[in-house]
Amino acid sequence: GENVEQHPSTLSVQEGDSAVIKCTYSDSASNYFPWYKQELGKGPQLIIDIRSNVGEKKDQRIAVTLNKTAKHFSLHITETQPEDSAVYFCAAVGVDSSYKLIFGSGTRLLVRP
């Protein structure tokens, strides 16, 4: 089955700097890659996603890139703000009918004021 690895596990940046989180997946048939932000005590919130027919997608300060050949995708946050501090999870969805999300291990992002 699908396996998703995520790095780094923790990331500390200065406010205004950029943050990059990377994930790799194992199943070349996976075709949908969402990113979630989870704040303490809350459920994950979808922040951006990308499909396998697209190489890059941007939404204001957030962007995601996908390299299908290498089977990895990355989240880029520019001009970080303290409110960006949270745990970020990448995920992959396979092509079978279950649409199960397989999550990475998470990255704890701390943006220092």
Partner 1 sequence: GAVVSQHPSWVICKSGTSVKIECRSLDFQATTMFWYRQFPKQSLMLMATSNEGSKATYEQGVEKDKFLINHASLTLSTLTVTSAHPEDSSFYICSARPSHGPTEAFFGQGTRLTVV
Chain Cα centroid distance, residue 73: 8
CA-CA distance, 74 to 92, in Å (whole number)? 12
For residue 21, which amino acid is it?
I
Specify the stretch interacting with partner 1 by CB under 8 A; choose among 19-27, 53-61, 76-84, 91-99. 91-99
Question: Which residues partner with 93 through β-bridges?
Answer: 32, 101
Which is closer to partner 1, CB of 78 or CB of 101? 101
Report whether 101 contacts 74 (CB < 8 A). no
Which is closer to partner 1, CB of 9 or CB of 67? 9
CB neighbours (10 Å) of residue 26? 13
Q: Smallest distance, Å, CB 98 to partner 1? A: 6
35 near partner 1, rule: CB under 8 A: no
Residue numbers 56-85 binding partner 1 by CB under 8 A: none
Q: Write out the residues near partner 1 by the rule CB under 8 A.
A: 32, 34, 36, 41-46, 49, 89, 93, 98-106, 108
